[in-house]
Amino acid sequence: MANELALKYGCNPNQKPSRIFMKNGKELPIKVLNGKPGYINFLDAFNSWQLVKELKEATGLPSAASFKHVSPAGAAVGYPLSDTLKKIYFVDDLELSPLACAYARARGADRMSSYGDFAALSDICDAPTAKMLYREVSDGVIAPGYTEEALEILKQKRKGGYNIIEIDPDYVPEEAEYKDVFGITFEQGRNNAKISAEMLSNLVTENKTLSEAEQRDLVIALITLKYTQSNSVCYVKDGQAIGIGAGQQSRIHCTRLAGNKADVWYLRQHPKVLELPFKAGIRRADRDNTIDVYISEDYMDVLADGAWENFFTEKPEPLTREEKRAWLDTMTGVALGSDAFFPFGDNIERAHKSGVTVIAQPGGSIRDDHVIDTCNKYGIAMAFNGLRLFHH
């Protein structure tokens, strides 16, 4: 290891010179085992590694994240997948270890956003996870280690140029963080807040019941938000994020954006979607895009201009607005976390439409009473965790 690593350029090709280095002269806690990771790759790698490390510490389960532009497209722990999830994540032909299940869930939460991701793994990368990564469009991976078989598989990806980073799992950063903006240096203490179920005890709604599974999902949501560009909200179900809204100026836009993603995730499991008559040989990315169009309101236009013939063996029946609403009405048991308080009850109204039954947020709005009343209207349990999680 060395204490600095030169990079090709910064965020953009005109931003040179570029490097990562340790100000204290210590060695970097990473090894580049393959490829030439860039500036944004390392930003994704270091943020995503922190996320999965904390998920593993909080849940005891193998964890994974799929990052794009320094925010997670998905994050999850390694619970087994149902046959339906295996099918919509395109992994029904693969052997699935617990770590591979975690990455399949993280990648599958929002497959369009995960396209070209940087993956993070909490545990040593095994062959099943490497085989999954090998066939997806991905920029790189960070993990605390790799089995010999996994490393050989990944080294063959992208004509031998796939970015593979090994990080020291025992590395502890300095307490102070620095960032230069416009030639001016900012300093702050690291966000070392430990997120656990203990911070969910302040239930302010009439419904004061949180099951262990609901507490787990809320913890996953809050840890995910800790490394998501703010403003942000996160919908979680069964151990995986299903919708993340990042970097919006208005919280209701975060809630809508993430809710729409959660809706698409659930609509992908609709029988009509599962039975779409795709032609043989259609690439997974093209399937993802086509499914998204099929679910969207634009599909009738696609049917009309005959573009369906490029992907399907026969013209599929459209999924009507009424059918979509009826299917979405069966979604329930969704947990929602917010990185800051909800200022108005409209966020709760939108969340309810996507099956949210439990919420964790800091509280502290002058309209907390309105937000609580809206939760009570739908029987939603809401905890004020008292911890803001802005990340910039």
Catalytic residues: 68-69, 231, 392
Backbone phi, then psi, for 342, in 5-degree steps? -85, 120
SS3 (DSSP) at 199:
helix
Residue 383's alpha-carbon distances to 161, 216, 354, in angstroms, are 46, 13, 19
| Residue 379: both structure tokens together | 């029987």
Residues of the chain by 3-state class (helix, strand, coil), percent to 5: 40, 20, 40
Residue 211's alpha-carbon distances to 197, 208, 223, 289, in angstroms, are 11, 10, 18, 36
The set of residues, in sequence order, having a beta carbon less than 8 Å from that of 129 and lying 6+ positions away, is 64, 97, 99, 100, 103, 121, 150
The set of residues, in sequence order, having a beta carbon less than 8 Å from that of 162 and lying 6+ positions away, is 34, 35, 138, 140, 141, 154, 155
The set of residues, in sequence order, having a beta carbon less than 8 Å from that of 184 and lying 6+ positions away, is none
Q: SS3 string of 27-73?
A: CCCEEEEECCCCHHHHHHHHHHHHHHHHHHHHHCCCEEEEEECCEEE
Whether 63 and 78 have beta carbons less than 8 Å apart is answered as: yes
Backbone phi, then psi, for 46, in 5-degree steps? -70, -35
Element (H, E) at 335: strand 334-338
Torsion of CA 95, 99, 100, 105, to 10 degrees: 130
> How far apart are the C-alpha atoms of 85 and 111, rounded to whole Å?
13
| Residue 154: both structure tokens together | 């990944």
| Residue 21: both structure tokens together | 């280095």
Pairing of the two strands 176-181 and 184-189: antiparallel
Whether 76 and 63 have beta carbons less than 8 Å apart is answered as: yes
> How far apart are the C-alpha atoms of 1 and 167, rounded to whole Å?
11
